[in-house]
Amino acid sequence: MDEKVGWWADELYHVLWAYRTTPCTPTGESPFNLSFRTEAVIPVDVGAPSPRVTDFNEQLNGDGLNANLDLLEEAREESRIRVAAYKQKVSNYHDSKIRHREFRAGDLVLRKAAISQPKNVAKLSPTWEGPYRVKEVIRPGSYKLETLEEHLLPHAWNS
- Tell me the per-residue pLDDT of 32-72, one tens digit each, with 9 for 90 and over: 877 777 777 767 666 777 776 677 777 787 787 777 777 77
| CA-closest candidate to residue 147, choices 133, 137, 128, 158 | 133
Exposed/middle/buried for 84, CB within 10 Å: 0-12, 13-18, 19+?
Answer: exposed
Least confident among 26-35, 42-51, 78-87: 42-51
Which pLDDT value is given to residue 149? 92
Please indicate, yes or no, whether the overall pTM of this predicted structure exceeds 0.75. no
Exposed/middle/buried for 40, CB within 10 Å: 0-12, 13-18, 19+?
Answer: middle
β-pairing verdict for 128-139 and 142-146: antiparallel
- Residue 108 confidence (pLDDT) above 80: yes
- Please, which pLDDT band fits residue 145 given cuts at 50, 70 and 90? very high
Q: Identity (one letter) of the amino acid at 129?
A: E
Residue/partner pairs of 146-153 with CB below 8 Å, 24 or more apart? none
Could you tell me if 110 and 131 are in contact, meaning their C-beta atoms sit under 8 angstroms apart?
yes
Least confident among 14-23, 135-144, 149-158: 14-23
